Chains A and B, each alone.
Chain A
Amino acid sequence: MSKISSILIANRGEIALRVIRACKELGIKSISVYSDDDNRSIHVKRADETYRLGPSQASESYLRIDKILEIAKSSGADAIHPGYGFLSENDVFSDECKKNGIIFIGPTARAMELAGDKMKCKEIMKKAEVPTVPGSDGVVDDMGLAVEIAKEAGYPVMLKSAFGGGGRGIRLVNDEKELRQEFELASNESQAAFGKSALFIEKYLTNIRHIEFQLIRDSSGNGRHLFERECSIQRRHQKLIEMSPSPVVNKEKREKVGEIAVRASTALDYLNAGTAEFLADAEGNFYFIEINARLQVEHPITEIVTGKDLVKLQIHVAQGEELPFKQQDLELKGSAIECRINSEDPFYDFAPSVGYVPNCNIPSGPGVRVDTYLYPGCNVSGYYDSLIAKLITYGGDFYEARIRMKNALSEFTIEGINTTIPIHKTILEESNFVNGNISTDYIEKYNIIEKMKHKRDQEYKDKAYAAISGILLQSEFVKKSYSGQRIDRSQKSMDGGFF
């Protein structure tokens, strides 16, 4: 296979920027595409070339396979990187790329189809002796059948989109009434986001951890795992905080489950980067749940603890190269944490918050990495996912990484929208989190929302006098400007002279 010299990035936001950076490192031309709402976005500004895709709705832009391929061909792109979300796990897209002679940087359509179909995947895993979650089997597209299955499994159950990913379209229902209400919503959501609607039902287990293993496999069949990521801090099954290593995985466990993860990727004849997701119970049993056939949002923490650049590796594997390391060459060093900064109001049931960001301050310093599309004067669009930044910190151990995260969060200011920063600040100090005592129901179990509100009230008290001083300064300003004193509008700073 020939070397890739230009890549079209069929995505937006921080992940598009991440891929652009990898392209620049490798001397590859980067080509971005944008929707109307994104015409001032960072991926438009940073790519070597940029092309308009269409109107703002994802279905009219980032999900348009025909338009993306048309631009790829006319701009002379050798390869397409799909990022995560959008078309990243769409087997038709992967196949269409191949048919058009364009390298798809990701799994083959076949592997993707198997991985994406959670039920078929489960079957294959059972044959490969990979332990899976006990529970339902089969896709449910009928409400009556859904009610029956849920009753048999026993409430609460999870309603999942078979083609979904990233937690969207997953709903927890506690009784039949809720199931009937949510089934329709989840089905519509799946239809809108992925163009297909097929749901399945799984028994909801409690006090469990979500732990996943990073995988990469080349076209010669060499598969490696790049250790685990602990992703148990979630809200409504959406990851909020991830870390590597996990506080409950020792060297022995890591090797054992890592080997199972590689076996799972072999069973699917998987290609390129992917993730094997497991649920771990209190006794330390790991159950395979699915393979995410894409680069994960939380890939940076793995990059940090392994010293491997996953996006560059993806490109190397896509152009047919063999992986340059063996399993025993890999070593997990230090500790890394990622906080997902979403444009949501954590004080208002995480309602989406969108709009203009007049100013922001991106944290920096020792052990800090920020992957974001924010810049002062940018716009946060309501058409796409709410992830606006990934704040990653690392250190020699968890303690150092955590303290750096605490400091970095206090440096991170974003004006104009609400974000999840307050909940992260609360969690980073909470004693159960500090001691590694976490599970997927952590937020509810330890009343994190209440603790966050309490912390905010304290912050209000701390800032009260300064805020009031600001109000008095402004009323003084207004008074003076009405009393005839001339204000030079062109001069922004009026230090000294005015007051």
Chain B
Amino acid sequence: MVTKVMQIIFSPVLALVVGVFFLGLARKIIARIHWRWGPPLVQPVIDIVRLFYQKSVSHGLVFDLGIILSLAGSIVVVLFLPFGRWCPLDGSGGLLVILYIMLLAPLGMALSGGEGANPNISIGISRKLILSLGYEVPLLLVLLAVMTRYKTISIMEVVNVQQGTSWSIISFPLVLSGVSYFLILPAILGLRPFDVSSAPQEISSGLMAEYGGKYLALATIEHAFVLFISIALFVNMFLGGAANPIIFFVKMLVVFVPGLFIHAVFPRFRVEQAVKYLWKWPTLLAFLGLIMTMVIGG
């Protein structure tokens, strides 16, 4: 019981550390690709601390609550994901719950954005929700394929089976789903070419246009959590989870760094081009994966 409580408290902290490290690593690697030196690896920490020390301007109660709702949603999703061998809320619904609560993040920010009196925020919200519509369709098909293959909705079960046999991504019907999830991962993370919803040059960073001070700090923390959640979900479902956290972390790095390479050199898609891409090949592959899984494994 006590270990459970300790896990519940410790798990989001660990996710935050990993997420913030990924933010710093992203800036460093992109700088090195651009032939510059780049900031120190702890730069996001310095940014967040500075943002907490700034006095911010609030636009009302709903403006405050929206970002807190979004952050709360992300923290709850972290509790359902296994990190290595431990998973705080294991037998309570697993993949289905994650599918629902993962949507709280953009919706929470949309709620607070409606209160800020800036038209750039509405444009940012509409782009982000359209992009969510784009990637939720293949994501749902991929998760259904995994659930059908392993006949369970608990992620810990999926990890254990993969540890026993082989990784999902090299077993036949799920390789299609795995490739499809890897193709839509930049859209979930907000990396280029899919960072249309927070474009600094076009819509003055969209959703975060009126966030100053502590709101921006919370938004950066929430971005770190979203990084952790999406990559950890992929590693757990397709790359076999891991026996201990260190190997898990190495696998997350292996998934994240190619996304950064693409982010550093690509320009941005428009939102309709992004949705057209997301509904063409990834959806097709995910759909084929689901059909094959139902035919073969079902």
Genuine A/B complex: no
Interface residues of B, Cβ cutoff 8 Å to A: none
